[in-house]
Each structure stands twice: as C-alpha cells, then as structure tokens.
A = this chain, B = another copy of it.
Amino acid sequence: MGIERIMPGLAVGGESKIVLLVLDGLGGLPWPDSGLTELEAASTPNLDALASRHTCGLIHPVSPGITPGSGPGHLALFGYDPLKYEIGRGILSALGLGLEVGPGEVAARVNFCTVEGGLVADRRAGRIPTEVNAELCALISERVEVPGLTFTLKPEKEHRAALILRGEGLSENLTDSDPERTGFPPLRVLPRDPGDERAVRSAELVNAFLDAVGETLKDRRQANMILLRGFSGHPSIPTMEERYGLRAAAIATYPMYRGLARLVGMRVLETGDAFEDQLDTLEGSWEDYDFFFLHYKKTDSAGEDGDYRRKVRCIEEVDSFMPRITALRPEVLVVTGDHSTPALLRAHSWHPCPLLLASDREMPDEVDAFSERRCARGGLGIFSAVDLMPLMLANAGRLGKYGA
C-alpha cells in the first residue's frame, strides 16, 4: 500500500488529458473453430496502429488466478487496491440500480422469499415477475414505517431488490437475515460485534423494519417476506481529486459503473446509450476535465452470453470510433479491460487483460497488433492493474519525483 500512500504528495497537476477506455470483459480465450481470441479475430486497424506506434502489456486486475467482479476490477484500474477497498455487495446492488448511497447510509441486497409455517420454503419466491416485485416494493414503501429509520426499496429483476437505510448513527456491522437455505426461519439481524452499540441499535431498527414488512405481506401465499444480505456502508475512500489532483469524469451508460465512478469522486456525465453518444459527451466536455473514464459494456455482455461473434463485432465497433478519440489528442490514452470475459467460459475469468498505452513519453515496443498474446510480449510486461494509474499520470506529466 506504500504507493497509494505517497500518491497525493507526488501529484503535480497540469493541463494534460488522460483517457481511460475500458472495454468491459475485453480479454478472451481462443475459440475452438478459429484458435483465435475475440480480440485476435476482430478487425481492429485503429487499435493495431496505436499498438504498433505505442506500448502494450497485460494487467492482472487483482492478482494471478483471481477472477474479479466489476467492482474490484474497476477500483484497480482507478488505482485503488481492491483488496484494501472492498465494496460491499449491498452497495454494488444499489449502485447497479442507479441509487446513490451517501456516507452514513447502509445498503443491503433484498430477496423476496416465500415463508410457510414460519420457515423459508423458497428463497426466491418462485422467481416472481419483475412487475410483481415492483408492486411489492411500492406497497412496502407506502405502508412500512419504523421510527428513526427511512428507506428506499427499489426493484431489480425477478425476486431481487436493493434497500438503502437511513437513520442517525446507523451501522452496517450486521449479520444477514437470509438463512441461505430453506427449512429455516428468516434470521433475526444481529450486530456482528455485540459490544458495538451502534450496531446493536441498528439491528433493532432493521428487525423492526423486517417485522413491519412481514406484517404488510402476511396475507400473500408467495413472496410474503424479504431476506436481507450484505449490509454495507459507503466505503471510506479518497477521491481521485484528493489522491491524484485530477478533475475526473465518467462517461458510462450502466448504473453500476456510474456508481463506482461516483464512489471515487468522479463527476458522472449525462450521456446516451450508444457508444457514439458517449463520444459526443467526451468531445463536449473535453475542456472541463483532466481524466475521462469511458466505459463500454457490450463486450462483457457478449462474453457472458458465450456469443463469440457478437463480442468480435463489439470490439470492431469500438475500433471504428477510435479516430474520434485520438483526434482529441489526449496526452495519454489507455485501452484495456477491467477483467477478461472469454466467450468460451461465458463468465468473468482470471486471465490478465490486454493493455494499450498511447503516450509520446513511453518506450515503444515491438508489438504491432492489439491482442492478448501480442500484449504478453509487450514492453510494459505483465503487471498489476493497480499500478496502471501511476503509469498514466507519469505519462501525462502529472507526477513529481519521489524523494530527492
């Protein structure tokens, strides 16, 4: 953690611009038919030209063998050690729904469940339709009142929802009410540390809330209770401005990434759904910020669907827009992923992500095309994603000398 500690003292400011383009789940594995990864199969003349002129490498989002979720993957790219700054599941669910979680507020994941004779008979309430979920959330929001507690309950998909709790001195140091299996009653929420008075009081409030929810839903046969998991508070995390002296902006379409960016103090810009819209936003706000986090989601979705061809096309789509980014002449342009999502595995994976760093101050290497296997032989080597941010700042002339 030494590097994180010294960063604020090294930041020197400046006029230079940095663009971090994240193709979510970019890294892949060879597809059996072609023997090529998605990135190798894609026609990417613009990215290849950049790779050819500049410098490549591979980055481990967390460390070798570790498959990250989107939270740790992005925190590392922003220079925050993902093993140090753990973002709770409740927070991520809330962020994913576009909810803001402020300091002192507590978020939790919600499942509607079915209780029979006091015991959980179905932890997912038969995967109720999302519309029913929305109706029940509205009903609870209208009916449930607990003195000293206010809340936001927002439907996600099927049986899932997110809850944000607000109140004086609320603590996230609470156990789940979800028994994690059927045949057991919903659990009382307990303070993780019985000596933590705030947690003791918070547990009482949450249990009162759960009782009121049970009362509200008691006449239903299905989805007649909720289970809470992953209580988490707003993490204590320095902003990018504090740490790097950067005015940072996020141009992302999915709520979770917008929320993650907000957590580290980025300004989240309004933008449209298409990548083209995101580029309009980039161009339109170019003068106002030093650092732009540009997030492209569709590569990851295609990978998770196991749709090799679609992931190839997504990469080609991004490539086709690269000239609009380079035309802005950022001092530093990085293209990488937050983790790999090989279509072959239909899931996030542990494989290190290809990285392209375009800057006039970096040592050019012999890589002449942008792909996992070329990047493995790139001049930057294979390194930890958390080290990328200092490297970008250095190339942007935004880091002073360490020590005399």
Contact = CB atoms under 8 A, between A and B. Distances in A.
User: What 4 A-B pairs have minimum CB-CB distances, sorted nearest first?
Assistant: A65-B390, A2-B83, A65-B391, A381-B382
A54 interface: no
A348 B401 contact: yes
Interface in A68-99: 68-72, 81-84, 86-87, 89, 92-93
B381 A65 contact: no
B2 A64 contact: no
B390 A70 contact: no
Nearest to A2: B83
A67 B2 contact: no
A25 to B, nearest CB: 12
Nearest to A73: B403
A6 interface: yes
A403 B29 contact: no
State the oligomeric state as a number of copies.
2
How many interface residues does chain A have, given as a range?
35 or more
Interface in A345-404: 345, 347-351, 361-366, 372-373, 376-377, 379-383, 387-395, 399-404
A2 to B, nearest CB: 3
A403 B68 contact: yes
Contacts of A65: 387, 389-395, 399
Contact of A402 (B72, B387, B388): B72
Contact of A401 (B68, B364, B389, B403): B68
